[in-house]
Amino acid sequence: SVYPNKDVASVQVAKRIAALIRSKQETGEPAVLGLATGATPVGVYEELVRLHREEGLSFRNVVTFNLDEYFPMPPTAPQSYVTFMNENLFDHIDIQRENIHIPDGTLAVEDVAAFCLNYEQQIEEYGGLDLQVLGIGRTGHVGFNEPGSAPNSGTRLVTLDDLTRRDASRDFGGKENVPTKAITMGIGTIFKAREIILMAWSGKKASIIKKAVEGDVSGEVPATYLQLADNVEFVLDEDAAAEL
């Protein structure tokens, strides 16, 4: 779907998440959400906080799994995705802390593989992701699945693309300070979600959105794999959709 601007689009996505949470509350089940970071989902989180404060939307039954985290990365660092999620969402809602899952940027390298396997298992134990929210990087990455990622990849340690590190350099005060690695859910992990929403705003994303939606399916642009799923919706503003 294409909306006139990101604010209208973000409210629509938040409404869908709220409807999912409420329908699960009726059956007493958890709503299992896959969440993303970056500038793109900020408006969705803002609207969810508003729905919590003004319309009593409760997150007591919500279980979350974030897509990714830089590696290494202490959770308390301003650039960590833990800090991002706390500031933009978790600190403002009634989610239970034990229901929040974010890849651990403090592990010893030799412990990462076991952590990643366990992350996948935990998602399975909750019955899988009901909804995965995605942004897209200018390399065509979803999560941190950079070019070269396999369609069946799972949660793992990856090396960040140079363009991704350049795009992140403002947050870190220079590219040299951006971690070279990250832990990310895989393309295969994302694909198992029952519903996937990829959001993109602004003309900066127009050319990668064209490739993702209309380009040949290839690991060179990992987001093209989403063309193979039938439960994916691209939610765009007019500028991001301009080249379609």
φ/ψ of 164, rounded to 5, equals -60, -40
Q: Establish whether 238 is a catalytic residue.
A: no
Asked if 40 interacts with ligand GLP (CB under 6 A), we say yes
Q: How many other C-beta atoms are found inside a 10 Å radius of the C-beta of residue 173?
A: 10
Residues 64 and 103: beta-carbon distance below 8 Å: no
Task: Using the minimum distance from each CB to ligand GLP, give the nearer residue, 2 or 29.
Answer: 2
- Least CB distance from residue 153 to ligand GLP, whole Å? 15
**Residue 9 found at the interface with ligand GLP (CB under 6 A):** no
Question: Which of 14, 18, 33, 36 contacts ligand GLP by CB under 6 A?
Answer: 36
Strand order in the sheet with 156-159: 68-71, 181-184, 156-159
Q: Which is nearer to ligand GLP, 23 or 207 (CB)?
A: 207
**What region, left, alpha or beta, does residue 156 occupy, with left being phi > 0 and alpha being psi -120 to 50 degrees?**
beta
Does 135 engage in binding with ligand GLP (CB under 6 A)?
Answer: yes
Q: Minimum distance from CB of 125 to ligand GLP (Å)? A: 24
Number of Cβ within a 10 Å radius of residue 75: 15
Integer Cα distance of 114 and 234 in angstroms = 33
Angle in degrees, 0-180, between the axes of helices 81-88 and 42-55, rounded to the nearest 10: 40
Residue corresponding to tokens 């390298």: 109
Near ligand GLP by CB under 6 A, which window of 32-40, 111-119, 170-178, 219-227? 32-40
The pair of three-digit structure tokens given for residue 182, joined into one six-digit string: 């990250």
196 binds ligand GLP (CB under 6 A): no
Determine, following the binding rule CB under 6 A, whether residue 70 of this chain makes contact with ligand GLP. Answer: no
Collapsing DSSP states into helix, strand and coil, what is residue 22? helix
What type of residue sits at position 96?
Q
Q: Does 88 bind ligand GLP (CB under 6 A)?
A: no
Q: Which alpha helices (DSSP H) does the chain contain, by range?
A: 6-27, 42-55, 81-88, 112-125, 162-167, 169-172, 187-191, 206-214
Q: Can residue 38 be called a binding residue for ligand GLP (CB under 6 A)?
A: yes
Kindly name the residue from 29, 87, 146, 233 that is annotated as catalytic: 146
When the beta carbons of 39 and 117 are compared against ligand GLP, the nearer one is: 39
Under rule CB under 6 A, which residues in 139-158 are in contact with ligand GLP? 143-144
Segment near ligand GLP (CB under 6 A); pick from 130-138, 173-181, 189-197, 230-238: 130-138
Total site size for ligand GLP, rule CB under 6 A: 13
Residue nearer to ligand GLP on the CB measure, 99 or 139: 139
Closer to ligand GLP by CB, 61 or 66: give it: 66
ω into 72 cis (within 30 of 0): yes
Residues that bind ligand GLP (CB under 6 A): 36-40, 67-68, 135-137, 143-144, 164
Indicate which residues carry an active-site annotation: 146
